[in-house]
Chains A and B, each alone.
Chain A
Amino acid sequence: MDQLEKTGLTWPKSWRGVYFFVLVTFVAWVILLSVLSLSFNIE
């Protein structure tokens, strides 16, 4: 029931959308940091 409550945001309107957005942001950060490691770190 809790998940059906509206977020009140323009976007994302559902909580699932909010969680999905957070996960995508997290994955984007891990990829970005991995690219940073590969681009600059010299063993």
Chain B
Amino acid sequence: MNVLDYVILVSALLGITIYGMWKTMGSRRLGTYLRGAPNTSAMNIGLSVLATQASAITFLSMPGQGYQNGLGFVQNYFGLPLALIIVAVVFLPIYRRFNVYTAYEYLGSRFDAKTRLLGAILFLIQRGLAAGITIYAPAIIISSVLGWRLDVTIVLSGILAIVYTVSGGSAAVNLTQKHQFTLITIGMFAALFILIEKLSAHLGLMDALTVAGGFQKMKAVDFSFDPNRRYTLWSGLFGGLFLSLSYFGADQSQVQRYISGSSLRESRLGLMFNAICKIPMQFLILILGVLLFVFYQFERPPIFFNEVSWNSASHGTASAKLQKLDQDFDRIYRQKQEYIKTWIEAKKTGNFTGEASAQKAAQQAQSESEALRDQAKLILHETDPLTKENDSDYIFITFILKYLPHGLIGLLVAAIFSAALGSKAAELNALATTSTIDIYRHFVPVKSHEGMNEITREAKEVWVTKSFTVFWGLLAISFALFANLISDMIEAVNILGSLFYGVTLCLFLVAFFLKWVGGNAVFCAAIVAQGLIFILFFNLKISYLWYNLIGCFACALFSVVFQSFFDWRSATHE
């Protein structure tokens, strides 16, 4: 990065933050601070919901997912449009009718205080941990490739998010997310266009997709019923439906974004905007990764994309072994390139035999090249156990720094940080709101402020929320500072969510649809089901998406069983 990049990076980040603070600062009314400006439009809600879900991890890890595993990950989002329709039809009208600040407030009205607390605590644990990953994930990658200090990067980006979230609350989060997402969109499209343009020096887009298909990167939909496969149409539809339903319906970081609409109409349209945009957006990010894979068939890729770790190990005891591996990798890369050229040429001339044999040779070379990469990862890990073996998070940033022009590098790094700040701020805002409304108010109820006028009481609660925002922000920074390397960051967040989401969602579904089930039954059921999920997670090897479904069904089943038992017991006691 040069001076121009740094100027763009700093001015983009500070500009958006200061603008957001300036436009929203000074709000002492609780409603505006927790729900946002009363005139928030559908488009603003839509972008805010999109920006909350799409963190920096999405833009760093997902092109790497596309590069390594192809388009299959897009199936994870197949349940999302259906889930958003259910949220718009069932959840949203209830939240608005009860005029809640948090989703868990509704559980208190429908069941009892302990179930409300359980929902809030499950959210605080899961989102509190994820908030650390949200801040750590981009910081470790960016600091590593740019040679920045990791602790300084984590602290600075964390503090920036804390400052504007504290200053303007939900309104500041909404407003900044709109501009942050615009920056991200411009950056990602610019990267995609430059990649296609650079690729055109070697082959056209259709040939590039053919090459990608030859290496099994174009399998976007897998109809297999094998539960051990991580991404299939069915795990995406059913597991993804429950994951999305839990995330959008019962996770305060999302609920807070869409209940901020000026009317039910605005909130619904914002959700439907997401239902339409999410799959194409994820597809575009994944196809960027797939095209990067093809691009690196014509430009020599590093054997290991985390070049900082590679360079440090190359000067150590394993230097000779790594050098030999690198030479072999280079030889195979050149052979593979020739095979691919022959393959495309044969395809153009209609030479089917030549095409098939060249393609087979290229696939064989790819397998050999992957085997060499695996050996290199093993050596790197043996040399330094802290080295993360999965280098897919470094693929896109390596491309940005090596092949994009100056100025655009700064813009893309700003886009990645913007994504981190946007989702981080939404998380902090939701954590602080839940802490105030569901935990603080449980111990210091509104009626305990008797004699205090409403404006003073609200100002006090705004101050409490601000303090909770600082607390959660500092906790996330501390967690990020001491977090160890996690094999795949985007998956780590999704796995963590999947373990808790099923049970949390069940609390709401039972509340909406099983009217005869009471607080005691659903509370006990949730505790037992959450325990069951942990046992299954440590003993089964199934796609993590299924835990959303299992957790939800187990909790619902136990609720019915416990309620029947309580009914039977009270009937016999009478």
- Residues of A that sit less than 8 Å from B by CB: 2-3, 5-9, 15, 18-19, 22-23, 25-26, 29-30, 33-34, 36-37, 39-43
Nearest neighbor of A16 in chain B, beta-carbon distance: B89
B74–A40 touching, CB < 8 Å: no
Find B85's partner among A8, A19, A30 (CB 8 Å cutoff): A19
State the CA gap A34–B223 with chains docked (Å): 9
Closest to B80 in A: A26
Any A CB within 8 A of the CB of B418: no
A interface footprint on B199-217 (CB within 8 Å = 1, 0 otherwise): 0000000000110111011
Residue contact B279 to A36, C-beta cutoff 8 Å: no
Task: Please name all residues of chain A whose beta carbon is closer than 8 Å to the beta carbon of B82 when the two chains form the complex.
Answer: 23, 26
Q: CA A26 – CA B276 in complex, angstroms?
A: 7
Q: Let me know if B221 and A5 touch, CB within 8 A.
A: no
Contact B213 A18 (CB under 8 A): no
What distance in Å separates the Cβ of A25 from its nearest Cβ neighbour in chain B?
5
- List residues of chain B with CB within 8 A of the CB of A36: 71, 218, 220
The answer to whether A26 and B81 have CB atoms under 8 Å apart is yes
Interfacial chain B residues near A25, Cβ < 8 Å: 81, 275-276
The chain A residue sitting closest to B42, CB to CB, is A8
Check: B93 CB closer than 8 A to any chain A CB: yes
Does B264 belong to the interface (CB within 8 Å)?
A: yes
Cβ–Cβ < 8 Å partners of B217 in chain A? 41
What residues on A are CB-neighbors of B209 within 8 Å?
40
Q: Are B264 and A2 in contact (CB under 8 A)?
A: yes
* Closest B residue by C-beta to A18: B272
**Inter-subunit contact B81/A3 (CB<8 Å):** no
Give complex CA distance A26, B265 in Å.
Answer: 21
Given A15-B89, A40-B210, 5 more A-B residue pairs with CB atoms under 8 Å apart are A15-B268, A18-B268, A22-B275, A23-B85, A40-B209
Contacts of A30 in B (CB 8 A): 78, 221, 233
Of B214, B219, B272, which one neighbours A22 at CB under 8 angstroms? B272
Q: Is the beta-carbon distance between B93 and A2 smaller than 8 angstroms?
A: yes
CB of A29 within 8 A of CB of B279, answer yes
**Smallest Cβ-Cβ distance to B86: which chain A residue:** A19
Q: What is the bound-complex CA distance between A18 and B42, given in angstroms?
A: 14
Q: List 11 A-B contacts (CB under 8 A).
A: A2-B93, A5-B264, A7-B265, A15-B89, A22-B85, A25-B275, A25-B276, A30-B233, A33-B74, A34-B220, A41-B213
Q: Hey, which chain B residues are within 8 Å of A15, CB to CB?
A: 88-89, 268
CB distance from B562 to the nearest CB of A (A): 32
Neighbouring B residues of A34 by C-beta, 8 Å? 220-221
Q: Which residue of B lies closest to A2 (CB)?
A: B93
Any A CB within 8 A of the CB of B548: no
Main secondary structure of the interface of A (DSSP, over half): helix
Q: Is B242 an interface residue (CB 8 A)?
A: no
Q: Is the interface of B mostly helix, strand, loop or mixed?
A: helix
Minimum CB–CB distance for B335 against chain A, Å: 20
List the A side residues contacting B177 at CB < 8 Å. none
B269 within 8 A of A: yes
Residue of B nearest to A28 (CB): B279
The answer to the question of B359 belonging to the interface, with a C-beta cut-off of 8 Å to chain A, is: yes
Please judge, given known A-B contacts A22-B276, A25-B276, whether A3 and B218 are in contact too, CB under 8 Å: no
Contacts of B89 in A (CB 8 A): 2-3, 15, 19
Closest to A20 in B: B85
B280 within 8 A of A: yes
A23 to B85, CA, bound (A): 9
**Does B283 have its Cβ within 8 Å of any Cβ on chain A?**
yes
Contact between chains at B276 and A42 (CB < 8 Å) = no
Task: Name the interface residues of B335-387: CB closer than 8 Å to any CB of A.
Answer: 359
A19 contact set on B, CB distance < 8 A: 85, 88-89, 272
Cα distance A6–B268 in the bound complex, in angstroms: 12
Distance A27 CA – B12 CA, assembled complex (angstroms): 38
Query: In whole angstroms, how far apart are the Cα atoms of A34 and B384 in the complex?
Result: 42
Contacts of A5 in B (CB 8 A): 264-265
Produce 1/0 per residue, B217-235, CB < 8 A to A.
1111100000000000100
- Complex CA gap A40/B206 in Å reads 9
Residues of A within 8 A of B283 (CB): 29, 33
B276 closest partner in A (C-beta): A25
Closest 5 CB pairs of A and B: A40-B213, A40-B218, A33-B220, A26-B81, A41-B218
> Measured between alpha carbons, how far is A10 from B78 in the docked complex, in Å?
28
Q: Known contacts being A5-B264, A29-B279, A41-B213, is A23 close to B81, with CB within 8 Å?
A: yes
| Residue in B closest to A33 when the chains form the complex, CB atoms | B220
Tell whether, in the assembled complex, residue A26 and residue B219 are in contact, meaning their CB atoms are under 8 Å apart. no
Which residues of chain B have C-beta atoms less than 8 A from A2's C-beta? 89, 93, 264
Query: How many angstroms from the CA of A7 to the CA of B93 in the assembled complex?
Result: 14
